[in-house]
Amino acid sequence: MTKKLFDILIVGGGMVGASLALRFSQAGLQVAVIEKTPLSSMQADAADPTEPPIDLRVSAINRRSEQWLQDIGVWQHLPATRLCPYRALQAFEGDSEPQNQGLTFTASELNQPYLGHIIENISLQRAMWQQFNEFITLFCPATVTALSQQSEVAGYASVSTAEFGEISGRLLIAADGAQSQLRTLAGIGHNGWQYQQACLVATVATEYPQQDITWQQFTEQGPRAFLPLPGAQASLVWYDDLAKVKALAQLPAAQLAAEIQQSFPAKLGKITVKQQGWFPLTRMHANRYWQGRVVLVGDAAHSINPLAGQGVNLGFADAALLAELVLQALAEGRDLADSELLQQYWQQRKKANLLMMSAMDGFYQLFSSRWPVLRLARKLGLTAAAKAGPLKAWVGAYAAGLKD
Ligand SMILES: Cc1cc2nc3c(=O)[nH]c(=O)nc-3n(C[C@H](O)[C@H](O)[C@H](O)COP(=O)(O)OP(=O)(O)OC[C@H]3O[C@@H](n4cnc5c(N)ncnc54)[C@H](O)[C@@H]3O)c2cc1C
């Protein structure tokens, strides 16, 4: 088999990996993407004129991520019919009566037209893949079986695949998700835990027309979240004990709808369940973000409680910084895997990612606790935060990705 040497070799063509492939290819670098999912799953059925149903996996994309997606020329190509802007974020305890509005952040308070958009992961990924150009070589479906970092003198590292043989790159990017195989092959350890709870996700049709608010109700059993979708639809997230979540996920749609109506606040209105599934809740943080010529981005470096919908936003922030530093090294004639730049990337992103992960854990512990003292603390916290202008503005801007 012929030797394939690229400037940048990315393992994992998910949202984060694909965005980096585009950025580097736009700078004229030769990029390889190795993805285990068959290409067919990335192609919409052009012969089918009907709008496909909304996929179960959706993400809240904040303003900073939107900027990154604009910069790489993807945002402009996202189908408007699959995007839902949200202009308010609300957190409350117990019922949702007007006297108990908890804490609400609005776009107008921050002088913004909106705080972010909800979009399906697959639509975003597809839009990126459609922009892949002649500088990107796709190895798909393919899975990495080994890593060799022996060619330090030659200035590259290689991976082996059963399907395409050996593929080499000057910089290897692990964007292969939370179970990253490249991370393991590079000998990078990680720490973290599985939370005792899991979450049920359901795509539903709603009685009410399209909403522009995303809300979370905190209950003693765990949060219940509402994310608006295009049209009269929503994505609901129900956090609870693992056994309960698994049992809910197996219910027929009509029965699950009845359970949701009982457990979610009345302001949800009537719903019909279209799709359902469940996800474990994991916290994982890599012990370091680089080793030799391998560097980690996105979920391969960190996975976070999805409570505040920040996972892929952190991944896009990793991607933006890594691209900036690597392109700077390129302009200065330095090695693309220069250890100083990889160290700088790790130090900067570790700090920001850890802050968000710890904030989510603090929130999660506080709001899932049944201790009276913590219950009082969170009630006071919600009330105090609701009144504290500058603090509230900072939290709102942080959640919308407008501040570090
Ligand atoms: C219930 C739930 C709700 C969420 N909601 C939000 C939200 O609202 N907002 C938000 O920002 N985040 C959210 N997240 C988190 C978000 O989904 C992840 O952070 C995001 O998908 C990570 O993107 P990634 O590209 O790093 O990894 P992934 O999406 O995991 O992509 C990894 C890619 O690598 C490929 N791959 C894996 N292994 C290999 C291999 N060995 N060889 C080749 N290819 C491989 C996979 O096929 C995949 O395409 C949520 C997560 C969950 C579970």
- How many angstroms is it from 178 CA to the middle of ligand 1? 7
Residue 387 lies in a domain: no
Contacts of 337 (CB under 8 A, 6+ apart): 170, 171, 172, 292, 293, 295
**Binding site membership of 59 for ligand 1 (Cβ less than 6 Å):** yes
**Binding site membership of 37 for ligand 1 (Cβ less than 6 Å):** yes
**Binding site membership of 36 for ligand 1 (Cβ less than 6 Å):** yes
**Binding site membership of 34 for ligand 1 (Cβ less than 6 Å):** yes
Full domain range(s) for residue 284: 4-45+54-361
Of 133, 167, 136, 163, the closest CA to residue 151 belongs to: 167
Of 2, 7, 66, the closest CA to residue 323 belongs to: 7
CATH (domain of 308): 3.50.50.60
pLDDT for the residue 273: 98
Of 132, 127, 113, the closest CA to residue 81 belongs to: 127
Residue 395 lies in a domain: no
Give the global pTM: 0.92
**Binding site membership of 102 for ligand 1 (Cβ less than 6 Å):** no
List the beta bridge partners of residue 93.
218
Measured from the CA of 281, which atom of ligand 1 is nearest? 53
- The beta strands (E) that lie in 63-185 are given as 84-86, 88-93, 103-106, 116-120, 136-139, 144-148, 157-161, 165-174
| Atom 40 of ligand 1: nearest residue by CA position | 143
**Binding site membership of 143 for ligand 1 (Cβ less than 6 Å):** yes
- Which residues in the chain show pLDDT less than 70? 1-3, 44-49, 95-101, 151-153, 363, 365-396, 404
**Binding site membership of 12 for ligand 1 (Cβ less than 6 Å):** yes
CB 245 within 8 A of CB 278: yes
Measured from the CA of 297, which atom of ligand 1 is nearest? 26
**Binding site membership of 17 for ligand 1 (Cβ less than 6 Å):** yes
**Binding site membership of 314 for ligand 1 (Cβ less than 6 Å):** no
- How many angstroms is it from 217 CA to the middle of ligand 1? 25
Residue 151 lies in a domain: yes
Pairing of strands 165-174, 190-206: unpaired
pLDDT for the residue 384: 61
Contacts of 342 (CB under 8 A, 6+ apart): 289, 290, 295
| Atom 27 of ligand 1: nearest residue by CA position | 177
pLDDT for the residue 107: 92
CB 94 within 8 A of CB 223: no
Question: Encoding tokens for residue 133?
Answer: 């150009």
- How many angstroms is it from 300 CA to the middle of ligand 1? 9
Residue 291 lies in a domain: yes
Residue 278 lies in a domain: yes
| Atom 39 of ligand 1: nearest residue by CA position | 176
Residue 394 lies in a domain: no
Q: Length of the chain in residues, anyone?
A: 404
Question: Encoding tokens for residue 108?
Answer: 């107008």
Q: What spatial distance separates the first Cα and last Cα of the chain, rounded to whole Å? A: 47
Helix, strand, or coil (residue 53): coil
Residue 383 lies in a domain: no
- How many angstroms is it from 177 CA to the middle of ligand 1? 5
**Binding site membership of 185 for ligand 1 (Cβ less than 6 Å):** no
Residue 369 lies in a domain: no
**Binding site membership of 245 for ligand 1 (Cβ less than 6 Å):** no
CA distances to 171, 179, 364 from 190, rounded to whole Å, are: 21, 11, 21
What CA–CA distance (Å, rounded) separates 296 from 9? 12
- How many angstroms is it from 76 CA to the middle of ligand 1? 22
Measured from the CA of 181, which atom of ligand 1 is nearest? 41
pLDDT for the residue 1: 46
Q: How many domains does the chain have?
A: 1
Say which residue the tokens 């030797």 belong to. Answer: 3
- How many angstroms is it from 336 CA to the middle of ligand 1? 25
- How many angstroms is it from 129 CA to the middle of ligand 1? 15
pLDDT for the residue 369: 60
- Per-residue model confidence as pLDDT tens digits over 221-272: 888 999 999 999 999 999 999 999 999 999 999 999 999 999 999 999 999 9
